[in-house]
């Protein structure tokens, strides 16, 4: 995965701004991230936000 830190920051910012999972996954796959890798990165960033208390499921 190229530029993993930049991609994780992008994912985190999109989730914080209220984007849904499908939109975030599309943004990652548009940046040449494979589907499963995009989902893993998305889940990791969601867990970061859950631990920080910024989102609640």
| In the predicted structure, residue 2 carries a pLDDT above the cut 90 | no
Separation between Cα atoms, residue 57 and residue 25, nearest integer Å: 18
| DSSP 8-state assignment for residue 54 | S
Report the 3 state secondary structure along 10-56.
HHHHHHHCCCCHHHHHHHHHHCCCCHHHHHHHHHHHHHHHHHHCCCC
Quick one: pLDDT at residue 12?
92
pLDDT tens digits, 3-56: 888 999 999 999 999 999 999 999 999 999 999 999 999 999 999 999 988 776
Q: Under 8 Å CB-to-CB from 14, ≥6 apart: which residues?
A: 23, 24, 27
């Amino acid at each position: 995965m190229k530029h993993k830190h930049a991609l994780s920051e992008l994912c985190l910012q999109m989730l914080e701004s209220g984007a849904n999972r499908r939109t975030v996954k599309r943004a990652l796959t548009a940046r040449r991230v494979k589907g499963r890798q995009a989902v893993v990165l998305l889940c990791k960033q969601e867990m970061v936000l859950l631990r920080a208390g910024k989102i609640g499921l």
